[in-house]
Amino acid sequence: MKKMMWLKAVVLAVLLLLPLALTAPVQAARSIDPIVSTEWLQNNLNNANLVIVDVRKVEEYKAGHIPGAVNVVYGTWAVKKGDLLNELPAVDDLADAIGSAGIDQNSLVVIVGKTDKVPDQFDMTRVAWTLKYLGVPNVAILSGGQNQWLKESKPVLQDMTRPKEKEFAASVNKGLFVDKASLAGKIGKALVIDTRAPAFYEGKEKLPFVPKLGRIKGAVNLPVGQLYTPEGLYKDKAALAALAQKAAGSDLDKEIIVYCDTGKTCTGWAFIMTDLLGYKDVKVYDGSSMEWLADPNVPTEP
């Protein structure tokens, strides 16, 4: 008798909880790896949900691009505001660009750019981070970019791809970026990571447009150049995890803020740490060294 009563109680509890389970929000699983190879991309060119976004200059795109790739140049995704480079455009402008490229919430987006120089790599990651900011869930980077595609003698086209435009409603994730005021309040609380080369982090060198030598007080160094092999491809996940843990530790829940000179190259580690390595709270300081080191009232070192 007691066993029957216990069984009825369990069944009743399940029936009561079932509606809640059916209506609870479900977090969408990632449908594409954050870094894809040229082999993967070639094998998926006919995927109806695939959108390849080539962020190179128009003339470079016209000279030869991956079949089906649409051209949305880098300057669409990051603009100059005042003296600051690589700032976010208006949300409405970004949403229009995304819809015009044929992207919606179901798209599998692969970003392609050039890798002639190390800084070129980060056109791709800045665009990928911006798409995440606007609420596009499935974004990937082509490892090695257009250069690797050509190196392997894979097919290219010269015609302009005309995407079927879609309505795109932005779902902005404001937690992916911080401004100077927000960062100033987090010094000593969040982990701040300087992703520039060691000589810049140590205050020995700077770029001409950065006001002065130095770094944000308390920042640790994790150079973006460490992301890649000598061939310009991404290192494997284990190697990247070891590098990230050396600077950021293994606590995936801690708040991390990354910066560089202008807010572009630091997205290289931001994208890898969140989408490949599982860090849950990584933010990009958009103004980066250009803005921070121009203000004598914020804490800097050395």
266 assigned to some structural domain: yes
Taking CA atoms, 44 is separated from 19, 38, 55, 301, in Å, by 38, 10, 20, 48
Domain for residue 240, yes or no? yes
What pLDDT score was predicted for residue 31?
85
Residue 112: the pLDDT is: 98
In this structure, how many other beta carbons lie within 10 angstroms of the beta carbon of residue 85? 17
Classify 286 as helix, strand or coil: coil
| Residue 218 maps to a domain | yes
Furthest CA-CA distance within the chain: 83
Closest CA to 108 of 34, 211, 200, 56: 34
At 244, which CATH number? 3.40.250.10
| Residue 138 sits in the same domain as residue 212 | no
Inter-residue contact 55 to 73 (CB < 8 Å): yes
Length of the chain as a residue count? 302
Q: Say whether both 208 and 295 belong to one domain.
A: yes
Residues 296 and 179 in one domain: yes
pLDDT value at residue 119: 86
At 44-98, the pLDDT tens digits run: 999 999 999 999 999 999 999 999 999 999 999 999 999 999 999 999 999 999 9
The two tokens of residue 252 are 């995936």
Query: What kind and span of H or E run contains 54?
Result: strand 50-54
Which regions of the chain are under pLDDT 50?
A: 1-28
| Same domain (yes/no): 55, 104 | yes
Instruction: Answer yes or no: is 185 within a domain.
Output: yes
Please tell me whether residues 73 and 192 are part of one structural domain.
no
Q: Which of 151, 166, 191 is the last residue of a domain?
A: 151
Same domain for 44 and 77, yes or no, is yes
Q: Domain count of the chain?
A: 2
- The answer as to whether 278 is a domain residue is yes
**Is residue 2 in some structural domain?**
no
Q: What is the pLDDT of residue 225?
A: 95
Q: What share of the chain is helix, strand, coil (3-state, %, to 5)?
A: 40, 15, 45
Whether residue 26 lies inside any domain: the answer is no
Verify that 93 and 188 share a domain, yes or no.
Answer: no
- pTM equals 0.88
Q: Residue 296 domain-assigned?
A: yes
* CA gap 260, 215 in Å, rounded: 9
Q: Do residue 183 and residue 147 come from a single domain?
A: no
Q: Give the pLDDT of residue 117.
A: 87
Rounded to whole angstroms, how far apart are CA atoms 234 and 144?
7
Could you tell me the residue range of the domain that residue 147 belongs to? 35-151
Could you give the CA distance from residue 302 to residue 3 in angstroms, rounded to a whole number?
71
Write down which residue in 120, 151, 182 finishes a domain. Answer: 151
For residue 169, which amino acid is it? A
Sheet containing 70-71: order of strands? 35-36, 139-142, 108-112, 50-54, 70-71
